Amino acid sequence: MLQADIDETILTAFLDLGGSEMRQALLAQVHSDLTRCGAALAELSECGDMGGLCRAAHEIKGIAATIGATTLSDLAGQSEAACAHGDAALFARLQPELSEHTRITAETLSSLMQV
């Protein structure tokens, strides 16, 4: 098990699509996307932009599912649903955990880039 809750089989299949250059490029891109989405979550929740938060959570959900980060994907899915239904209170409860898992997953990928 990696530092973040990532299904290694799915992640390996994802990273083994091409050679080492492709692997590094994919890792870098996913890391960059998750970092951007994490920053967007913080920024948008301050101004209460539920539409923007919904899109950010949706994007995290898609990336996380693709790399096998199932806990993050589930959390992002719940957060997206909360935003879509305008349930700001539920999103506020979910957001700290979502942000933390996003950060940890990004860090885990960053550590893999250096291997």
Partner 1 sequence: MPLAAAALGDGLLLVEDTPSLQMLYATVLRKAGYKPMLASSGAEALQKFAEHGPRVVLLDLMLPDADGLMVMREMLELRPEARIVVITANGSVNNAIEATREGAFDFLVKPLGDIRMIGAVASAFADLQQDVSLAGDDASRNDALERAFMGRSDAMRDVHSRIAAVAASTAPVFILGESGTGKELCARAVHLKSARAAQRFVTLNCSAADPEQLEIELFGHAGQKSGRGKSAAPTRAGAIARADGGTLFLQNIQDMSLDLQSGFLRFLQNASFSPVGDTRLIKVDVRLICTASGDPTEHLRAGRLREELYYRLFVIPIAMPPLRARGGDIVLLARHYLAQIAADEGKRFRKLAPDVEDLFLRLPWQGNVRELINVLRHAVVLHDGETVTLDMLPPGLVQSAPQPRDPALPDTGDAFAGLTMAQIEERAITAAIARHGGSVPRAARELDIAPSTIYRKRESWDKS
| Using rule CB under 8 A, residue 81 touches partner 1 | yes
| Using rule CB under 8 A, residue 103 touches partner 1 | no
State the nearest-atom distance from the C-beta of 8 to partner 1, in Å: 12
CA distance 3 to 115: 14
Whether the Cβ atoms of residue 81 and residue 90 lie closer than 8 Å to each other = no
- Which stretch of DSSP H or E encloses residue 12? helix 8-15
CA distance 101 to 37: 12
CA distance 5 to 2: 6
| Using rule CB under 8 A, residue 55 touches partner 1 | yes
State the nearest-atom distance from the C-beta of 66 to partner 1, in Å: 4
| Using rule CB under 8 A, residue 97 touches partner 1 | no
Residues that bind partner 1 (CB under 8 A): 7, 10, 14, 17-18, 22, 25-26, 29-30, 32-33, 55, 58-59, 61-63, 65-66, 70, 73-74, 77, 80-81
